[in-house]
Amino acid sequence: MSAPVPPGPRFAVVGNPGNRRVALFGDAVSAAGLPAPRLVPWRDVLRGGGADFAADEIVRVDSPGEDDEVDRLLRGTDDPTRVEGSARWYARFTAAVRGLRGGSRLDDPDDLAVLFDKRRCHAVLDAAGIPVPASPTSGPGAAPVRGWDDVRALMRDHRMHRLFVKPAHGSSASGVLAVESGGGGRIRATTSVERAPDGRLYNSLRVRRYDREQDIAAIVDALAPDGLHLERWLPKASQDGRAADLRVVVVAGRATHAVVRTSRFPLTNLHLGGSRGDLDAARRAVEAAGARWADVLGVCERAAACFPRTLCVGVDLLPAVGWRRTAVGEVNAFGDLLPRLTGLPGSGAEGLDTYAAQVAAVLHDRHRTGTPHA
């Protein structure tokens, strides 16, 4: 007699009502023939000091973004377009995650604490032998960055004429500056940060360039109290004359989905004017350079393996000029928002979007072991 099949799981999602991420995951759960997930609003978690879950609930933590009230509770500002406040956001977000009690978690609190600190995440990846851009602000002996003067000193000491200056706890390119220096003291920063006349910083959907050092210094000095991470700017491969990188989604240890992102700017985020490139062309370019596409995906899987208690991450992969070598730029806890994209051939997620792939992974793990991913 065959062993009894465990009953279907019950999902719960910590998210924002009406958010597209919550809706897409709910659609995936329903498509699998399961009851709709129980939604626990972020605003209730933040106001109530946590939330409780039943022992048999499988709990997914989703992004707290795109909700003005939640952003105000996390960052303490009435304007969701403001850049400052990321350190406060991080402290309150990680505390809230640790206030979730019971259930089986698809996102580990310790993993999330590392994933949302670029300095710590970079150090973890580097220690595991994952190729990453050189950085003086992560790992043993990490240098503090108290403002522009420190950035200038680190640029000189580490011979970084081109670098990225990133808020340690930022996301979606918020506050990121691509800085390049030249002869005669020339310097330029490319960023989506808009600096108001009163010195406040705002996120913009328009990428702009600052060519006066005093403007760049003012932005960095305003961001520094929240924590900054510096990385060497690696020249990236191109596709159709545009800078290109990849977002690779890894589910349960396997690279399942990938997109190429291209832009005429160093910031390739799609919401900043980047566009999806040709993934097949990228694969052919990798193979024409003498590398293996499986190895490219393998780098992403190795990066995800640094966070084994989290079901799904999105890896930003930086292909070097010529497409032969790659480095991991970031690992994103909420990097699975790629609507209508189906799985890679041979990934086991063919025909599934990123959310359906995660539901399928939970069901497979539960059927195999009798317990969900944890």
What are the pLDDT tens digits along the chain (374 aa)? Answer: 444 445 678 999 999 999 999 999 999 999 999 999 999 999 999 999 999 999 999 999 999 999 999 999 999 988 889 999 999 999 999 999 999 999 999 999 999 999 999 999 999 999 999 999 999 999 988 999 999 999 999 999 999 999 999 999 988 889 999 999 988 889 999 999 999 999 999 999 899 999 999 999 999 999 999 999 999 999 999 999 999 999 999 999 999 999 999 999 988 887 878 899 999 999 999 999 999 999 999 999 999 999 999 999 999 999 999 999 999 999 999 999 999 999 999 999 999 999 999 999 999 986 554 455 55
Identify the CA nearest to 160 among candidates 129, 135, 140, 186.
Answer: 135
Q: Is 28 helix (H, G, I), strand (E, B) or coil?
A: helix
Cα angle, residue 346 at apex, residues 340 and 349 outer, rounded to 5°: 35
Q: Is the dihedral of CA 65, 71, 329, 124 positive or negative?
A: negative
Instruction: For the chain, report the end-to-end CA distance as a whole number of angstroms.
Output: 29
Task: Give the pLDDT score at 4.
Answer: 45
The radius of gyration computed from the CA coordinates of the chain, to the nearest angstrom, equals 21
Identify the CA nearest to 166 among candidates 123, 125, 137.
Answer: 137
